[in-house]
Structure 1
Amino acid sequence: MADKDRPGDDVPGDDEVFADASAGGDVPDDGVDKATGSGDTALAERSATSDSPKAKKRRGGPIGRVGGFFREVVSELRKVIWPTRRELLTYTSVVIVFVVVVTSIVTSLDWVFGKGILWALG
């Protein structure tokens, strides 16, 4: 895949935005309300409408919210790129080998230090 085909490459970087601004181009809106100087105006509009009675009705009670949570979990799990069987076996074997090696190092160090303490205090 070429570098230009990656997602998000069509978004201008800071250098391009500032170069456009210095050349007299339009600067993208940063979401700050120019009149009040407060933060994201879109966020403020959304939060004002989400407390309406209609929004509360759509959310439902606790059971509706739990159901919505699980629907979102399933939706996110569908987006996951799951490993193939071969990849899973490779990853599992690497983890098992690593754990065996680290365990053997810790066991041998424990044995050596134990013998050293017994010899010194012995």
Structure 2
Amino acid sequence: MAKAKNSEKAIKPNIFMRIGLFIKQIIDELRKVVTPTSKELFFWSLAVFIFVLLLMALVTGMDYGLGKLTLWIFG
């Protein structure tokens, strides 16, 4: 009992159908995006700015401290 190969083989969509599906999925995802209010945007920007300043201070302190330690060890 041999089955026909056509019924077992899945039809692969051509390149244009795949590109169209991809663009449709992008548009569907973009519809889900929520735009923040100006107040939310300000506070999130402020939080990021403070976080970056703290990281800069941490890296600067480590650089200075490790530099002094290296000079103290190797003179």
Instruction: List gaps (5 residues or longer) in structure 2.
Output: 1-6
Query: Which of 35, 44, 63 is the aligned partner of 2:16?
Result: 63
Per the normalisation by structure 1, the TM-score is 0.48
Q: Percent identity?
A: 36
Partner Cα distance (2:41, 2:20) in 1: 31
Per the normalisation by structure 2, the TM-score is 0.73
- Point out the structure with the larger helix share: 2
Instruction: List gaps (5 residues or longer) in structure 1.
Output: 1-47
The alignment partner of 1:79 has SS state of: coil
1:80 aligned partner: 33
Provide the aligned C-alpha RMSD in A. Answer: 2.3
Query: Which of 108, 116, 121 is the aligned partner of 2:61?
Result: 108
Report deviation, 1:91: 0.9
Higher RCO (C-alpha 8 Å, min separation 6)? 1
Report deviation, 1:82: 2.4
Report deviation, 1:79: 1.7
Corresponding pairs, count = 69
Partner Cα distance (1:93, 1:70) in 2: 35
